[in-house]
Structure 1
Amino acid sequence: MDFVIAGGRTFAPKERKSKGFELASKLFLAGVVIYLLYASYNFLTSDPRFQITDVTFSGNHALLENQLLEWLGQVHGENLFAYDLSRASERLAEHPWVLSASVQRKFPQKIQIELTERVPYARIKFEKVFLMDNFGVILSEEKPEYRNLPLIVQPGVKPENFSGERVIQSLKTMHYFNKLSFFEKNPLDIAELKGHSRIIFSTRNRDLQIQMSMETLTEGFKKFRIVLDTLEDDAVKIQMIDLSFKDQVVVRDRIPSHSTSMKTPTN
Protein backbone atom coordinates (compact mmCIF):
# COMPACT_ATOMS: atom_id res chain seq x y z
CA MET A 1 0.00 0.00 0.00
CA ASP A 2 1.28 3.45 -0.91
CA PHE A 3 0.79 6.62 1.08
CA VAL A 4 0.40 10.14 -0.19
CA ILE A 5 1.87 12.94 1.87
CA ALA A 6 1.56 16.71 1.54
CA GLY A 7 2.91 17.92 -1.75
CA GLY A 8 1.72 14.83 -3.60
CA ARG A 9 4.86 12.65 -3.02
CA THR A 10 4.25 8.94 -2.74
CA PHE A 11 6.19 7.01 -0.08
CA ALA A 12 6.37 3.22 -0.11
CA PRO A 13 7.29 0.98 2.84
CA LYS A 14 9.57 -1.07 0.51
CA GLU A 15 11.70 1.99 -0.14
CA ARG A 16 12.22 2.48 3.58
CA LYS A 17 13.25 -1.14 4.00
CA SER A 18 15.70 -0.86 1.11
CA LYS A 19 17.40 2.14 2.62
CA GLY A 20 17.64 0.44 6.00
CA PHE A 21 19.23 -2.62 4.43
CA GLU A 22 21.72 -0.46 2.51
CA LEU A 23 22.78 1.35 5.70
CA ALA A 24 23.20 -1.93 7.57
CA SER A 25 25.35 -3.28 4.74
CA LYS A 26 27.62 -0.25 4.82
CA LEU A 27 28.03 -0.50 8.59
CA PHE A 28 28.85 -4.19 8.28
CA LEU A 29 31.47 -3.55 5.58
CA ALA A 30 33.01 -0.72 7.63
CA GLY A 31 33.25 -3.08 10.59
CA VAL A 32 34.93 -5.73 8.44
CA VAL A 33 37.47 -3.22 7.12
CA ILE A 34 38.26 -1.94 10.61
CA TYR A 35 38.71 -5.48 11.86
CA LEU A 36 41.00 -6.39 8.96
CA LEU A 37 43.08 -3.26 9.53
CA TYR A 38 43.38 -4.04 13.22
CA ALA A 39 44.27 -7.68 12.53
CA SER A 40 46.88 -6.64 9.96
CA TYR A 41 48.41 -4.08 12.32
CA ASN A 42 48.45 -6.61 15.15
CA PHE A 43 50.13 -9.15 12.87
CA LEU A 44 52.79 -6.72 11.59
CA THR A 45 53.66 -5.39 15.04
CA SER A 46 53.74 -8.71 16.90
CA ASP A 47 55.05 -11.28 14.45
CA PRO A 48 58.65 -12.26 15.36
CA ARG A 49 59.52 -12.37 11.66
CA PHE A 50 59.55 -8.54 11.74
CA GLN A 51 61.88 -8.12 14.71
CA ILE A 52 64.93 -5.97 13.88
CA THR A 53 68.04 -8.14 13.62
CA ASP A 54 70.34 -5.92 11.55
CA VAL A 55 71.30 -2.23 11.87
CA THR A 56 73.67 -0.73 9.28
CA PHE A 57 75.39 2.66 9.28
CA SER A 58 76.90 4.75 6.51
CA GLY A 59 78.64 8.12 6.60
CA ASN A 60 80.23 7.58 10.02
CA HIS A 61 84.00 8.06 10.15
CA ALA A 62 84.88 9.37 13.60
CA LEU A 63 82.08 7.46 15.36
CA LEU A 64 82.08 3.68 15.73
CA GLU A 65 78.92 1.64 15.21
CA ASN A 66 78.87 0.39 18.80
CA GLN A 67 79.08 4.01 20.03
CA LEU A 68 76.11 4.96 17.88
CA LEU A 69 74.06 1.94 18.99
CA GLU A 70 74.79 2.77 22.63
CA TRP A 71 73.69 6.37 21.99
CA LEU A 72 70.47 5.23 20.28
CA GLY A 73 69.41 2.75 22.90
CA GLN A 74 67.51 -0.50 22.23
CA VAL A 75 67.13 -1.26 18.51
CA HIS A 76 67.78 -4.99 18.01
CA GLY A 77 64.71 -7.03 18.86
CA GLU A 78 62.33 -4.11 18.35
CA ASN A 79 59.48 -4.50 15.86
CA LEU A 80 60.36 -3.10 12.43
CA PHE A 81 56.97 -1.39 11.96
CA ALA A 82 56.58 -0.12 15.52
CA TYR A 83 60.09 1.35 15.71
CA ASP A 84 59.91 5.18 15.79
CA LEU A 85 62.11 6.38 12.90
CA SER A 86 61.56 10.08 13.61
CA ARG A 87 62.59 9.74 17.23
CA ALA A 88 65.67 7.74 16.23
CA SER A 89 66.71 10.48 13.76
CA GLU A 90 66.21 13.16 16.41
CA ARG A 91 68.21 11.18 18.96
CA LEU A 92 71.14 10.74 16.56
CA ALA A 93 71.09 14.45 15.65
CA GLU A 94 71.52 15.25 19.36
CA HIS A 95 74.98 13.66 19.30
CA PRO A 96 77.71 16.38 19.16
CA TRP A 97 79.46 14.70 16.23
CA VAL A 98 76.30 14.26 14.11
CA LEU A 99 75.21 17.05 11.77
CA SER A 100 72.21 15.16 10.33
CA ALA A 101 70.77 11.64 10.31
CA SER A 102 68.31 9.65 8.19
CA VAL A 103 66.75 6.37 9.43
CA GLN A 104 64.91 3.98 7.10
CA ARG A 105 63.21 0.57 7.33
CA LYS A 106 64.45 -2.23 5.10
CA PHE A 107 62.02 -5.17 4.86
CA PRO A 108 61.85 -7.53 6.66
CA GLN A 109 64.27 -7.09 9.61
CA LYS A 110 66.71 -4.26 8.91
CA ILE A 111 67.21 -0.61 9.88
CA GLN A 112 69.46 1.50 7.68
CA ILE A 113 71.00 4.70 9.09
CA GLU A 114 72.78 7.35 7.04
CA LEU A 115 74.80 10.00 8.87
CA THR A 116 76.52 13.25 8.04
CA GLU A 117 79.21 13.86 10.65
CA ARG A 118 80.58 17.20 11.76
CA VAL A 119 84.19 17.79 10.70
CA PRO A 120 86.74 18.95 13.29
CA TYR A 121 87.97 22.42 12.34
CA ALA A 122 90.12 23.42 15.31
CA ARG A 123 91.08 22.58 18.87
CA ILE A 124 90.05 24.77 21.77
CA LYS A 125 91.65 24.74 25.19
CA PHE A 126 89.67 25.17 28.40
CA GLU A 127 90.88 23.09 31.37
CA LYS A 128 91.24 20.35 28.76
CA VAL A 129 91.60 20.52 24.99
CA PHE A 130 88.45 19.90 22.94
CA LEU A 131 87.63 19.60 19.25
CA MET A 132 85.17 21.96 17.55
CA ASP A 133 83.69 22.22 14.06
CA ASN A 134 83.47 25.24 11.74
CA PHE A 135 80.16 26.28 13.34
CA GLY A 136 81.74 26.57 16.78
CA VAL A 137 80.11 23.37 18.09
CA ILE A 138 82.14 21.48 20.70
CA LEU A 139 82.48 17.86 19.56
CA SER A 140 84.53 15.99 22.15
CA GLU A 141 87.83 15.97 23.94
CA GLU A 142 90.89 16.13 21.70
CA LYS A 143 91.88 13.01 19.76
CA PRO A 144 95.49 12.26 18.74
CA GLU A 145 94.72 12.24 15.01
CA TYR A 146 93.59 15.88 15.14
CA ARG A 147 96.57 17.41 16.96
CA ASN A 148 97.68 19.17 13.78
CA LEU A 149 94.61 21.42 13.85
CA PRO A 150 94.91 25.08 14.98
CA LEU A 151 94.63 25.63 18.73
CA ILE A 152 92.46 28.32 20.33
CA VAL A 153 93.26 29.23 23.94
CA GLN A 154 90.49 30.95 25.89
CA PRO A 155 91.48 31.25 29.58
CA GLY A 156 88.76 31.36 32.22
CA VAL A 157 85.96 30.07 29.98
CA LYS A 158 84.16 26.76 30.55
CA PRO A 159 82.78 24.63 27.67
CA GLU A 160 79.17 25.15 28.80
CA ASN A 161 79.63 28.94 28.64
CA PHE A 162 81.50 28.90 25.36
CA SER A 163 80.37 31.07 22.44
CA GLY A 164 81.89 30.10 19.11
CA GLU A 165 81.38 33.38 17.21
CA ARG A 166 84.62 35.09 18.33
CA VAL A 167 86.55 31.85 17.92
CA ILE A 168 85.33 31.38 14.34
CA GLN A 169 86.32 34.99 13.52
CA SER A 170 89.78 34.28 14.94
CA LEU A 171 90.18 31.09 12.90
CA LYS A 172 89.12 32.82 9.69
CA THR A 173 91.67 35.58 10.29
CA MET A 174 94.36 32.95 10.96
CA HIS A 175 93.42 31.27 7.68
CA TYR A 176 93.80 34.55 5.75
CA PHE A 177 97.25 35.14 7.27
CA ASN A 178 98.43 31.61 6.43
CA LYS A 179 97.52 32.07 2.76
CA LEU A 180 100.29 34.70 2.53
CA SER A 181 103.76 33.59 1.42
CA PHE A 182 105.18 35.21 4.57
CA PHE A 183 103.74 32.30 6.62
CA GLU A 184 104.27 29.52 4.10
CA LYS A 185 107.04 27.73 6.04
CA ASN A 186 106.00 28.84 9.51
CA PRO A 187 102.19 29.22 9.66
CA LEU A 188 100.15 30.56 12.53
CA ASP A 189 98.64 27.71 14.52
CA ILE A 190 97.72 29.16 17.94
CA ALA A 191 95.34 31.98 18.79
CA GLU A 192 94.97 33.14 22.40
CA LEU A 193 91.96 35.26 23.25
CA LYS A 194 92.81 37.86 25.89
CA GLY A 195 89.76 39.32 27.60
CA HIS A 196 87.03 40.58 25.30
CA SER A 197 89.04 42.61 22.83
CA ARG A 198 92.52 41.25 22.18
CA ILE A 199 93.89 38.21 20.38
CA ILE A 200 97.46 36.97 20.03
CA PHE A 201 98.45 34.66 17.15
CA SER A 202 101.63 32.55 17.35
CA THR A 203 103.54 30.74 14.61
CA ARG A 204 104.26 27.03 14.65
CA ASN A 205 107.91 27.60 15.62
CA ARG A 206 106.77 29.93 18.46
CA ASP A 207 109.17 32.62 17.24
CA LEU A 208 106.65 35.25 16.12
CA GLN A 209 103.49 36.71 17.63
CA ILE A 210 100.84 38.92 16.05
CA GLN A 211 98.58 40.96 18.31
CA MET A 212 95.25 42.28 17.08
CA SER A 213 92.01 43.80 18.32
CA MET A 214 88.93 41.58 17.96
CA GLU A 215 86.94 44.65 16.89
CA THR A 216 89.26 45.43 13.96
CA LEU A 217 90.42 42.06 12.60
CA THR A 218 89.74 42.98 8.97
CA GLU A 219 91.45 46.39 9.27
CA GLY A 220 94.42 44.80 11.05
CA PHE A 221 94.90 42.27 8.27
CA LYS A 222 94.81 45.05 5.67
CA LYS A 223 97.49 46.98 7.62
CA PHE A 224 99.65 43.85 7.72
CA ARG A 225 99.48 43.48 3.94
CA ILE A 226 100.45 47.12 3.46
CA VAL A 227 103.71 46.68 5.41
CA LEU A 228 104.33 43.10 4.23
CA ASP A 229 107.25 43.95 1.90
CA THR A 230 109.11 45.68 4.71
CA LEU A 231 108.47 42.82 7.12
CA GLU A 232 109.73 40.15 4.71
CA ASP A 233 113.14 41.85 4.53
CA ASP A 234 113.65 41.47 8.29
CA ALA A 235 111.41 38.50 9.04
CA VAL A 236 114.14 36.60 10.91
CA LYS A 237 114.59 39.43 13.42
CA ILE A 238 110.91 40.08 14.21
CA GLN A 239 109.50 38.86 17.52
CA MET A 240 106.13 40.60 17.67
CA ILE A 241 103.86 42.56 15.32
CA ASP A 242 101.11 44.62 16.95
CA LEU A 243 98.23 45.48 14.61
CA SER A 244 95.83 46.66 17.29
CA PHE A 245 96.68 50.37 17.03
CA LYS A 246 94.84 52.72 14.72
CA ASP A 247 96.71 53.78 11.55
CA GLN A 248 100.02 52.19 12.56
CA VAL A 249 101.85 48.91 12.98
CA VAL A 250 104.23 48.30 15.88
CA VAL A 251 107.08 45.87 15.22
CA ARG A 252 109.30 44.53 18.01
CA ASP A 253 112.72 43.05 17.32
CA ARG A 254 113.55 39.59 18.66
CA ILE A 255 117.11 40.56 19.73
CA PRO A 256 116.97 42.03 23.30
CA SER A 257 119.48 44.77 22.54
CA HIS A 258 117.31 45.93 19.67
CA SER A 259 113.90 45.50 21.26
CA THR A 260 112.71 49.06 21.01
CA SER A 261 109.36 49.48 19.35
CA MET A 262 109.21 50.83 15.82
CA LYS A 263 106.02 52.47 14.67
CA THR A 264 105.24 52.16 11.00
CA PRO A 265 102.55 54.47 9.55
CA THR A 266 100.13 52.73 7.19
CA ASN A 267 98.64 55.73 5.42
Structure 2
Amino acid sequence: MQSIGSVRGEARKRRSPDALLKRGIAVPRRSSRGLPMLAGARNLIARSPRSVRLGKLGRDRVRGKWLLVCVLFLASALLYGAWIGGQTGRLVDTLGGGIEKLAVAAGFGVKRVTVDGQLHTTDAEITAALHAGPDTMMLGYDTDAAKARLEAVPWIKHAQVMRLLPSTLQVVIEERVPYAIWQSHGQTYVVDAEGVTLAPALREAYPELPLVVGDGAPKAAPALYQALMPYGDLKQKMIAAIRVGDRRWTLKLASGLEVMLPDDNVDEALASLTKLDAEKALLKRNIASVDLRLLDRVTVRLRDDPDGSPPTAEAAQETPTSSTKTPGKGKT
Protein backbone atom coordinates (compact mmCIF):
# COMPACT_ATOMS: atom_id res chain seq x y z
CA MET A 1 0.00 0.00 0.00
CA GLN A 2 1.47 3.26 -1.07
CA SER A 3 1.42 6.23 1.27
CA ILE A 4 0.02 9.55 0.33
CA GLY A 5 3.20 11.33 1.14
CA SER A 6 5.18 9.30 -1.25
CA VAL A 7 2.64 9.82 -4.04
CA ARG A 8 2.77 13.55 -3.49
CA GLY A 9 6.54 13.52 -3.45
CA GLU A 10 6.64 11.59 -6.66
CA ALA A 11 4.17 13.99 -8.25
CA ARG A 12 6.35 16.91 -7.22
CA LYS A 13 9.35 15.28 -8.80
CA ARG A 14 7.41 14.84 -12.02
CA ARG A 15 6.40 18.47 -11.94
CA SER A 16 9.87 19.71 -11.15
CA PRO A 17 11.44 21.90 -13.87
CA ASP A 18 14.17 19.41 -14.61
CA ALA A 19 11.68 16.59 -15.11
CA LEU A 20 9.47 18.67 -17.32
CA LEU A 21 12.44 19.84 -19.40
CA LYS A 22 13.47 16.23 -19.95
CA ARG A 23 10.00 15.53 -21.22
CA GLY A 24 10.18 18.52 -23.60
CA ILE A 25 7.61 20.65 -21.78
CA ALA A 26 8.25 24.39 -21.53
CA VAL A 27 8.59 25.59 -18.06
CA PRO A 28 7.37 29.13 -17.19
CA ARG A 29 10.04 31.22 -15.56
CA ARG A 30 9.25 32.09 -12.02
CA SER A 31 9.57 35.67 -10.96
CA SER A 32 11.78 36.45 -8.05
CA ARG A 33 10.17 37.18 -4.78
CA GLY A 34 12.43 40.18 -4.37
CA LEU A 35 12.01 43.63 -5.92
CA PRO A 36 10.69 43.66 -9.47
CA MET A 37 13.31 44.03 -12.19
CA LEU A 38 12.79 46.52 -14.98
CA ALA A 39 12.77 45.01 -18.40
CA GLY A 40 15.93 45.68 -20.32
CA ALA A 41 17.71 47.05 -17.24
CA ARG A 42 21.49 46.86 -17.36
CA ASN A 43 23.42 45.12 -14.74
CA LEU A 44 25.40 47.62 -12.57
CA ILE A 45 28.94 46.64 -11.95
CA ALA A 46 30.46 48.08 -8.77
CA ARG A 47 34.12 48.80 -9.20
CA SER A 48 36.50 49.88 -6.55
CA PRO A 49 38.20 53.28 -7.21
CA ARG A 50 41.54 53.16 -8.90
CA SER A 51 44.48 54.49 -7.03
CA VAL A 52 46.60 57.07 -8.88
CA ARG A 53 50.28 56.68 -8.35
CA LEU A 54 52.26 59.93 -8.67
CA GLY A 55 55.45 59.83 -10.57
CA LYS A 56 58.69 60.55 -8.81
CA LEU A 57 60.21 64.07 -9.01
CA GLY A 58 63.08 64.47 -11.37
CA ARG A 59 66.55 65.10 -10.03
CA ASP A 60 66.58 68.77 -11.18
CA ARG A 61 63.31 69.52 -9.46
CA VAL A 62 64.46 67.93 -6.26
CA ARG A 63 67.70 69.85 -6.40
CA GLY A 64 65.88 73.17 -6.97
CA LYS A 65 63.54 72.43 -4.10
CA TRP A 66 66.36 71.82 -1.69
CA LEU A 67 68.22 74.86 -2.97
CA LEU A 68 65.20 77.05 -2.20
CA VAL A 69 64.94 75.56 1.27
CA CYS A 70 68.63 76.26 1.88
CA VAL A 71 68.33 79.87 0.72
CA LEU A 72 65.32 80.49 2.94
CA PHE A 73 67.11 78.91 5.87
CA LEU A 74 70.22 81.02 5.35
CA ALA A 75 68.12 84.20 4.96
CA SER A 76 66.19 83.49 8.14
CA ALA A 77 69.43 82.73 9.99
CA LEU A 78 70.91 86.00 8.76
CA LEU A 79 67.87 88.02 9.84
CA TYR A 80 67.78 86.29 13.21
CA GLY A 81 71.47 86.96 13.75
CA ALA A 82 71.03 90.63 12.81
CA TRP A 83 68.10 90.92 15.19
CA ILE A 84 70.00 89.30 18.05
CA GLY A 85 73.03 91.48 17.39
CA GLY A 86 71.01 94.68 17.07
CA GLN A 87 72.05 95.15 13.43
CA THR A 88 68.60 94.96 11.83
CA GLY A 89 68.58 98.61 10.83
CA ARG A 90 72.04 98.34 9.36
CA LEU A 91 71.04 95.28 7.33
CA VAL A 92 67.93 97.01 6.00
CA ASP A 93 69.98 100.08 5.10
CA THR A 94 72.48 97.91 3.25
CA LEU A 95 69.74 96.20 1.24
CA GLY A 96 68.06 99.54 0.53
CA GLY A 97 71.36 101.05 -0.57
CA GLY A 98 71.90 98.20 -2.98
CA ILE A 99 68.46 98.66 -4.51
CA GLU A 100 69.01 102.41 -4.77
CA LYS A 101 72.33 101.93 -6.59
CA LEU A 102 70.70 99.55 -9.04
CA ALA A 103 67.90 102.07 -9.75
CA VAL A 104 70.39 104.91 -10.27
CA ALA A 105 72.47 102.71 -12.59
CA ALA A 106 69.28 101.99 -14.56
CA GLY A 107 68.80 105.73 -15.24
CA PHE A 108 66.47 106.70 -12.35
CA GLY A 109 68.86 109.18 -10.71
CA VAL A 110 68.36 112.97 -10.48
CA LYS A 111 70.16 114.38 -13.52
CA ARG A 112 68.24 117.63 -14.12
CA VAL A 113 66.46 120.26 -11.98
CA THR A 114 64.17 122.92 -13.44
CA VAL A 115 63.09 125.94 -11.35
CA ASP A 116 60.18 128.28 -12.14
CA GLY A 117 59.49 131.53 -10.25
CA GLN A 118 63.04 132.18 -9.08
CA LEU A 119 63.94 135.88 -8.81
CA HIS A 120 65.80 136.63 -5.58
CA THR A 121 66.51 133.12 -4.26
CA THR A 122 70.01 131.94 -5.12
CA ASP A 123 70.82 128.66 -6.85
CA ALA A 124 72.88 127.60 -3.83
CA GLU A 125 69.87 128.00 -1.50
CA ILE A 126 67.64 125.92 -3.77
CA THR A 127 70.27 123.20 -4.25
CA ALA A 128 70.91 122.96 -0.53
CA ALA A 129 67.18 122.69 0.21
CA LEU A 130 66.55 119.96 -2.40
CA HIS A 131 69.25 117.56 -1.12
CA ALA A 132 69.29 115.89 -4.54
CA GLY A 133 72.09 114.84 -6.85
CA PRO A 134 73.09 112.29 -9.48
CA ASP A 135 73.20 109.55 -6.80
CA THR A 136 69.66 110.29 -5.57
CA MET A 137 67.04 107.73 -6.62
CA MET A 138 64.01 109.38 -8.21
CA LEU A 139 61.54 106.69 -7.11
CA GLY A 140 62.40 107.11 -3.44
CA TYR A 141 62.77 110.92 -3.38
CA ASP A 142 60.58 112.59 -0.73
CA THR A 143 58.96 115.58 -2.43
CA ASP A 144 57.03 116.65 0.69
CA ALA A 145 60.23 116.94 2.71
CA ALA A 146 61.86 118.90 -0.12
CA LYS A 147 58.86 121.27 -0.20
CA ALA A 148 59.19 121.90 3.56
CA ARG A 149 62.92 122.61 3.23
CA LEU A 150 62.35 125.02 0.36
CA GLU A 151 59.68 126.94 2.26
CA ALA A 152 62.16 127.33 5.13
CA VAL A 153 64.29 129.52 2.83
CA PRO A 154 63.42 133.15 3.76
CA TRP A 155 62.72 134.32 0.22
CA ILE A 156 60.39 131.40 -0.63
CA LYS A 157 56.76 131.68 0.46
CA HIS A 158 55.32 128.60 -1.30
CA ALA A 159 57.02 125.74 -3.15
CA GLN A 160 56.02 122.70 -5.19
CA VAL A 161 58.30 119.80 -6.12
CA MET A 162 57.38 117.24 -8.79
CA ARG A 163 59.17 114.17 -10.16
CA LEU A 164 59.31 113.81 -13.92
CA LEU A 165 60.58 110.31 -14.59
CA PRO A 166 63.09 109.11 -15.31
CA SER A 167 65.53 111.79 -14.06
CA THR A 168 64.07 115.34 -13.76
CA LEU A 169 62.92 117.32 -10.71
CA GLN A 170 60.58 120.22 -11.46
CA VAL A 171 60.46 122.98 -8.82
CA VAL A 172 57.90 125.81 -8.81
CA ILE A 173 58.34 128.53 -6.18
CA GLU A 174 56.47 131.68 -5.18
CA GLU A 175 58.80 134.24 -3.67
CA ARG A 176 57.98 136.85 -1.06
CA VAL A 177 57.65 140.45 -2.23
CA PRO A 178 60.02 143.02 -0.69
CA TYR A 179 58.00 145.61 1.21
CA ALA A 180 60.40 147.76 3.22
CA ILE A 181 63.98 148.21 4.37
CA TRP A 182 64.33 147.60 8.09
CA GLN A 183 67.15 149.19 10.06
CA SER A 184 68.01 147.60 13.39
CA HIS A 185 71.14 148.07 15.51
CA GLY A 186 73.07 149.57 12.64
CA GLN A 187 72.20 146.82 10.15
CA THR A 188 69.69 146.97 7.29
CA TYR A 189 67.50 144.16 5.97
CA VAL A 190 64.80 143.76 3.36
CA VAL A 191 61.45 142.56 4.78
CA ASP A 192 58.07 141.62 3.32
CA ALA A 193 54.57 142.79 4.25
CA GLU A 194 54.27 140.02 6.87
CA GLY A 195 57.37 141.22 8.68
CA VAL A 196 59.55 138.32 7.54
CA THR A 197 63.22 139.22 7.27
CA LEU A 198 64.33 138.14 3.81
CA ALA A 199 68.00 139.04 3.61
CA PRO A 200 70.58 141.69 4.57
CA ALA A 201 70.37 144.54 2.08
CA LEU A 202 71.84 147.94 1.39
CA ARG A 203 69.47 150.88 1.45
CA GLU A 204 70.71 151.94 -1.99
CA ALA A 205 69.68 148.57 -3.49
CA TYR A 206 65.99 149.30 -2.85
CA PRO A 207 65.56 153.08 -3.16
CA GLU A 208 61.82 152.74 -3.89
CA LEU A 209 61.06 150.95 -0.59
CA PRO A 210 60.24 152.84 2.63
CA LEU A 211 62.71 152.78 5.51
CA VAL A 212 61.46 151.62 8.93
CA VAL A 213 63.56 151.69 12.09
CA GLY A 214 63.37 150.01 15.48
CA ASP A 215 62.16 146.81 17.12
CA GLY A 216 58.77 145.61 15.86
CA ALA A 217 58.84 147.97 12.88
CA PRO A 218 58.57 145.32 10.12
CA LYS A 219 55.27 143.87 11.36
CA ALA A 220 53.69 147.25 12.19
CA ALA A 221 54.76 149.00 8.98
CA PRO A 222 51.87 147.81 6.73
CA ALA A 223 49.23 149.34 9.02
CA LEU A 224 51.13 152.66 9.14
CA TYR A 225 51.56 152.97 5.40
CA GLN A 226 47.94 151.99 4.86
CA ALA A 227 46.97 154.96 7.05
CA LEU A 228 49.34 157.21 5.06
CA MET A 229 47.76 156.30 1.71
CA PRO A 230 45.50 159.45 1.53
CA TYR A 231 48.44 161.74 2.42
CA GLY A 232 50.67 161.51 -0.61
CA ASP A 233 52.48 164.83 0.04
CA LEU A 234 53.46 163.74 3.54
CA LYS A 235 54.72 160.36 2.30
CA GLN A 236 56.92 162.04 -0.30
CA LYS A 237 58.57 164.17 2.38
CA MET A 238 59.29 161.18 4.64
CA ILE A 239 62.71 159.54 4.78
CA ALA A 240 61.95 157.08 7.59
CA ALA A 241 59.36 155.84 10.07
CA ILE A 242 60.80 155.17 13.53
CA ARG A 243 59.08 152.66 15.81
CA VAL A 244 59.20 153.79 19.44
CA GLY A 245 58.85 151.15 22.16
CA ASP A 246 57.00 148.96 19.68
CA ARG A 247 53.93 151.09 20.51
CA ARG A 248 53.84 154.13 18.24
CA TRP A 249 55.56 155.85 15.32
CA THR A 250 57.66 158.96 14.79
CA LEU A 251 57.85 160.16 11.18
CA LYS A 252 61.12 161.78 10.11
CA LEU A 253 60.84 164.12 7.13
CA ALA A 254 63.55 165.13 4.68
CA SER A 255 63.66 168.64 6.24
CA GLY A 256 64.64 167.11 9.59
CA LEU A 257 61.18 167.65 11.10
CA GLU A 258 59.88 164.81 13.27
CA VAL A 259 56.17 164.10 13.64
CA MET A 260 55.28 162.11 16.77
CA LEU A 261 52.11 160.07 16.28
CA PRO A 262 49.94 158.61 19.09
CA ASP A 263 49.65 154.93 19.99
CA ASP A 264 46.23 154.76 18.35
CA ASN A 265 43.88 157.09 16.46
CA VAL A 266 46.62 157.59 13.87
CA ASP A 267 44.10 158.60 11.19
CA GLU A 268 42.77 161.48 13.31
CA ALA A 269 46.28 162.68 14.12
CA LEU A 270 47.29 162.70 10.46
CA ALA A 271 44.10 164.56 9.50
CA SER A 272 44.85 167.20 12.16
CA LEU A 273 48.44 167.59 10.91
CA THR A 274 47.28 168.02 7.31
CA LYS A 275 44.74 170.66 8.34
CA LEU A 276 47.35 172.68 10.27
CA ASP A 277 49.77 172.49 7.38
CA ALA A 278 47.10 173.69 4.95
CA GLU A 279 46.11 176.62 7.23
CA LYS A 280 49.50 177.69 8.64
CA ALA A 281 52.12 175.93 6.47
CA LEU A 282 53.28 174.13 9.58
CA LEU A 283 55.65 171.73 7.87
CA LYS A 284 57.52 174.58 6.14
CA ARG A 285 58.34 176.45 9.31
CA ASN A 286 61.62 176.30 11.17
CA ILE A 287 60.48 173.80 13.78
CA ALA A 288 62.12 170.59 15.04
CA SER A 289 59.10 168.46 15.94
CA VAL A 290 55.34 168.28 16.03
CA ASP A 291 53.81 166.25 18.86
CA LEU A 292 50.40 164.77 18.01
CA ARG A 293 50.26 162.24 20.85
CA LEU A 294 47.42 164.20 22.53
CA LEU A 295 44.39 164.66 20.33
CA ASP A 296 43.14 167.78 22.11
CA ARG A 297 46.32 169.80 21.46
CA VAL A 298 49.36 169.99 19.20
CA THR A 299 52.79 170.68 20.68
CA VAL A 300 55.51 172.22 18.52
CA ARG A 301 59.22 172.42 19.42
CA LEU A 302 61.38 175.06 17.75
CA ARG A 303 64.85 174.38 16.42
CA ASP A 304 67.85 175.00 18.60
CA ASP A 305 69.84 176.62 15.77
CA PRO A 306 71.00 180.06 16.90
CA ASP A 307 70.42 181.61 13.48
CA GLY A 308 67.14 179.79 12.97
CA SER A 309 68.20 178.51 9.58
CA PRO A 310 66.89 175.15 8.37
CA PRO A 311 69.27 172.18 8.50
CA THR A 312 71.53 171.42 5.57
CA ALA A 313 70.56 168.75 3.04
CA GLU A 314 73.25 166.41 4.35
CA ALA A 315 72.05 166.71 7.92
CA ALA A 316 68.40 166.46 6.97
CA GLN A 317 68.81 163.28 4.98
CA GLU A 318 71.08 161.50 7.42
CA THR A 319 69.76 157.99 7.94
CA PRO A 320 68.33 157.55 11.43
CA THR A 321 69.19 154.61 13.64
CA SER A 322 67.13 152.54 16.03
CA SER A 323 68.70 154.47 18.91
CA THR A 324 67.14 157.76 17.72
CA LYS A 325 65.58 159.50 20.71
CA THR A 326 62.25 161.21 20.58
CA PRO A 327 62.67 164.90 21.44
CA GLY A 328 60.84 166.23 24.47
CA LYS A 329 58.16 168.88 24.62
CA GLY A 330 59.01 172.44 23.67
CA LYS A 331 57.24 175.68 23.13
CA THR A 332 53.54 175.43 22.25
Is the structural similarity TM-score above 0.5? yes
Query: If the length of structure 2 is used for normalisation, what is the TM-score?
Result: 0.55
The alpha carbon displacement at 1:255 in A equals 7.7
Letter in 1 for 2:262: S
Letter in 2 for 1:168: K
Which moves more between the two structures, 134-143 or 238-247? 238-247
In the superposition, relative to structure 1, how do residues 46 and 252 fare at CA in structure 2: closer, same or farther (>3 Å)?
same
- Does residue 189 of structure 1 match 2:239? yes
- Does residue 261 of structure 1 match 2:325? no
- Does residue 201 of structure 1 match 2:290? no
Letter in 1 for 2:279: T
The alpha carbon displacement at 1:256 in A equals 4.8
What is the distance in 1 between the residues matched to 2:282 and 2:129?
55
Q: Secondary structure at the match of 1:248?
A: coil
- Does residue 98 of structure 1 match 2:148? no
Contact in 2 for aligned 1:151/1:189 (Cα 8 Å): yes
In the superposition, relative to structure 1, how do residues 172 and 206 fare at CA in structure 2: closer, same or farther (>3 Å)?
farther
The alpha carbon displacement at 1:119 in A equals 1.3
Q: Which residue of 1 aligns with 2:273?
A: 224
- Does residue 65 of structure 1 match 2:113? no
In the superposition, relative to structure 1, how do residues 76 and 210 fare at CA in structure 2: closer, same or farther (>3 Å)?
farther
Count of aligned residue pairs for this structure pair: 209
Q: C-alpha root-mean-square deviation of aligned residues, in Å?
A: 2.9
Contact in 1 for aligned 2:213/2:243 (Cα 8 Å): yes
Unaligned runs of 5+ in 1: 1-41, 158-163, 263-267
What is the distance in 1 between the residues matched to 2:198 and 2:143?
24
Contact in 2 for aligned 1:216/1:244 (Cα 8 Å): no
Contact in 2 for aligned 1:178/1:187 (Cα 8 Å): no
1:130-149 counterparts in 2 under 5 A?
130-143=189-202, 144-149=204-209
Contact in 1 for aligned 2:190/2:197 (Cα 8 Å): yes
Q: Which residue of 1 aligns with 2:68?
A: none
Query: Whose Rg is larger?
Result: 2
What is the distance in 1 between the residues matched to 2:260 and 2:153?
36
The alpha carbon displacement at 1:209 in A equals 1.4
Unaligned runs of 5+ in 2: 1-98, 309-328
Q: Which residue of 2 aligns with 1:50?
A: 108
Q: Which residue of 2 aligns with 1:169?
A: 220
What is the distance in 2 between the residues matched to 1:217 and 1:140?
30
CA deviation string 1:137-161 (max 9, x = no partner): 111211452254222221xx5xxxx
